[in-house]
């Protein structure tokens, strides 16, 4: 289950309702669009932000060794190719509608995705090729990561 802790990227909070095709079309191409506008690549594809959104097919959704550290410990964006490896499309949809994850993964936004969007996302992820290796395992609070990481501290309230 640890490989499944993250399904979409930090930016999934910004998935517009318009992503759902009115005719319910399910396709790899639509899955690519959903992965982009849903923010999946933002965290799950190394180097995506640095290349201003160019997707390297070799690295697409393979997970990320850069951690997100906060009061929950340090979490890593999972290798989504491994998340679907060996899973049926129906199993993936069920998983996507029910999984929970530690911050900063907005799993509740994935739960709100239309079923046809999830099926298209499954097809896109499955089209990417060999699954590769898992992302690093999450670390509990107080354990120092050996990889680069981003500190996500709670807000500091002004005095007074």
| Confidence check: pLDDT of 43 > 80 | yes
Structure tokens at 27: 């396709």
pTM for this entry: 0.83
d(CA 3, CA 76): 10
Q: What is the pLDDT of residues 5-28, one digit of tens each?
A: 333 333 343 344 444 556 679 999
Q: What is the pLDDT of residues 100-125, one digit of tens each?
A: 999 999 999 999 999 999 999 999 99
Provide the pLDDT for residue 2: 35
Average pLDDT, the chain: 87
| Confidence check: pLDDT of 56 > 60 | yes
Provide the pLDDT for residue 50: 94
Q: Which sequence spans correspond to the domains of the chain?
A: 2-140+147-151
Provide the pLDDT for residue 8: 37
Percent of the chain whose pLDDT exceeds 90: 79
| Confidence check: pLDDT of 90 > 90 | yes
Structure tokens at 73: 């410990």
Average pLDDT over residues 20-37: 87
């Amino acid at each position: 289950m640890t490989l499944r802790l993250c399904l979409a990227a930090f930016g999934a909070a910004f998935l517009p309702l318009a992503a759902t095709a009115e005719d319910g079309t399910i396709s790899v191409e639509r899955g690519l669009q959903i992965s982009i506008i849903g923010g999946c690549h933002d965290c799950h594809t190394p180097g995506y932000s640095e290349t201003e959104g160019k997707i390297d097919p070799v690295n697409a959704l393979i997970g990320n060794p850069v951690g997100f550290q906060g009061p929950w410990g340090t979490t890593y964006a999972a290798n989504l190719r491994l998340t679907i490896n060996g899973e049926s499309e129906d199993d993936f949809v069920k998983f996507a509608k029910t999984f929970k994850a530690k911050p900063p993964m907005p799993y509740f936004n994935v739960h709100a995705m239309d079923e046809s969007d999830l099926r298209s996302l499954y097809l896109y992820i499955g089209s990417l090729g060999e699954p590769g290796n898992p992302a690093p395992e999450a670390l509990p609070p107080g354990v120092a990561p050996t990889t680069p990481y981003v500190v996500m501290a709670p807000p500091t309230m002004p005095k007074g």
